[in-house]
Structure 1
Amino acid sequence: MVVEGAGPSCGLIDGFGRHVTYLRLSVTDRCDLRCVYCMSEDMSFRSRRDILTLEELTRLARLFIARGIDKLRITGGEPLVRPGILDLFAALSEPIADGSLRELTLTTNGTQLARFAEDLARAGVRRINVSLDTLDPERFRALTRGGSLARVMDGIAAARAAGLTVKLNVVALKDGTEHEIHDLIAFAHAREMALSLIETMPLGDVGVDRVDQYLPLDSLRRQIAGRWTLHDVPMRSGGPARYARVAETGGLIEFITPHTHNFCADCNRVRVTASGTLHTCLGQDDATDLKAHLRTSATDDVIVRLIDQALGRKPKGHDFILRRGASPQLARHMSETGG
Structure 2
Amino acid sequence: MLEDKFGRKFKYLRLSITDVCNYRCDYCLPDGYQGDKPEGFLSLEEVDTLVSAFANLGTEKVRITGGEPSLRKDLPDIIARVKQHPKIKHVALTTNGFLLEKQVEHWAKAGLDSINISIDSLDPAMFNAITGHDHLDRILRGIDKALALGLTVKVNAVLMRKVNQRSLQGFLDWVKQVPITLRFIELMQTGDNKVLFDAQHVSGEPLKRDLLSQGWVPILRDKVAGPAQEFSHAEYAGKIGLIMPYSKDFCATCNRLRVTAKGDLHLCLFADNGLSLREELISGDVERVEQRLVALLGDKHATHYLDVGFTGATKHLAMLGG
Q: Tell me if both proteins adopt one fold, taking TM over 0.5 as the criterion.
A: yes
Corresponding position: 1:88 with 2:78: yes
- Does the 8 Å CA contact 1:13/1:19 hold for their aligned counterparts? yes
| Counterpart AA for 1:257 | M
Q: Within 2, Cα distance between the matches of 1:262 and 1:134?
A: 29
Contact 2:3/2:9, CA 8 A, preserved across alignment: yes
Equivalent-residue separation in structure 2 for 1:298 and 1:224 (angstroms): 49
Report Cα offsets for 1:179-232 as digits up to 9, x if no partner. 211111221341111111110111241484311121111123345567x32223
Residue by residue over 1:280-321, the C-alpha shift from the partner in whole angstroms, topping out at 9 and shown as x without a partner, is 1113224210113323x3523432222111111111111113
Name 2:30's counterpart in structure 1. Answer: 40
The aligned residue for residue 144 of structure 2 is 157
CA distance in 1, matches of 2:104, 2:58: 28
Is 2:247 the partner of 1:260?
A: yes
C-alpha separation between the residues in 1 aligned to 2:162 and 2:81? 43
Note the alpha carbon deviations across 1:66-85, whole angstroms, 9 max, x for none. 22211010011111111211
Query: How many equivalent residue pairs?
Result: 321
Q: Is the 8 A contact 1:211 1:322 kept in 2?
A: no
Say yes or no: does 1:276 pair with 2:231. Answer: no
Aligned residue runs from structure 1 range 240-251, under 5 A: 240-249=227-236, 251=238
Change (3 A) 1:54 1:298: closer
Unaligned residue ranges in structure 2 (runs of 5+): none
Instruction: Tell whether the 8 Å contact from 1:19 to 1:268 is kept in structure 2 after alignment.
Output: yes
Distance 1:290 1:269 in 2: 17
Of 234, 259, 276, 1:289 maps to: 276
Q: 1:329 to 1:13 in 2, by over 3 A?
A: closer
Residue 6 of structure 1: aligned partner = none
Q: Confirm or deny that 1:64 pairs with 2:54.
A: yes
- In the TM superposition, what is the alpha-carbon distance from 1:154 to its structure 2 partner? 2.1
Quote how far apart the aligned CAs of 1:243 are: 2.1
Q: Where do 1:1-12 residues align within 5 Å?
A: 11-12=1-2
Distance 2:186 2:256 in 1: 19
Relative to the length of structure 2, the TM-score reads 0.92
Determine if contact 2:270/2:314 at 8 Å carries over to the other structure. no
Secondary structure of 1:254's aligned partner:
strand
Give 5+ residue unaligned stretches, structure 1.
1-10
Instruction: Say what the alpha-carbon RMSD is for the aligned residues.
Output: 2.2
**Which residue of structure 1 lines up, in the alignment, with residue 317 of structure 2?**
334
Q: 3-state SS of the aligned residue for 1:216? A: coil
Distance in 1 (CA, whole Å) between partners of 2:201 and 2:313 is: 17
1:104 is aligned to 91
Report how far residue 278 of structure 1 moved.
0.4
Q: State how 1:225-244 maps to structure 2 within 5 Å.
A: 228-237=214-223, 239-244=226-231
Q: Percent identity?
A: 35
Specify which of 295, 310, 321 is matched with residue 309 of structure 1: 295
Distance 1:47 1:212 in 2: 33
